[in-house]
Amino acid sequence: FHYVFIGGTVFALFAGVYYWFPKVTGRKMDERLGLYHFLIGFASYNAAFWPMHAL
């Protein structure tokens, strides 16, 4: 339950920020930092919720 809903909500919010930030401000975000943010967030999310899923 938490594995799907929290991940879907949090990653959707981040996706919205990365999509709308350049449109609102007119400045592009660094794609490399966005990739690092995704990888660290994905790894942290799985480290936090995978043990709960495995039980």
pLDDT tens for the 55 residues of the chain, in order: 777 888 899 999 999 999 999 999 999 989 999 999 999 999 999 998 888 877 7
Residue 26 in 3-state DSSP? coil
Q: How far apart are CA 23 and CA 15, in angstroms?
A: 13
Structure token digits, residue 41: 């967030």
Structure token digits, residue 42: 């994905």
State the pLDDT at residue 4.
84
| Nearest to 6, CA basis, from 50, 55, 54 | 50
Q: Look up the pTM and report it.
A: 0.74
Residue 16 in 3-state DSSP? helix
Question: Is-contact 34 18, C-beta < 8 A?
Answer: yes
Amino acid at position 35, single letter? L
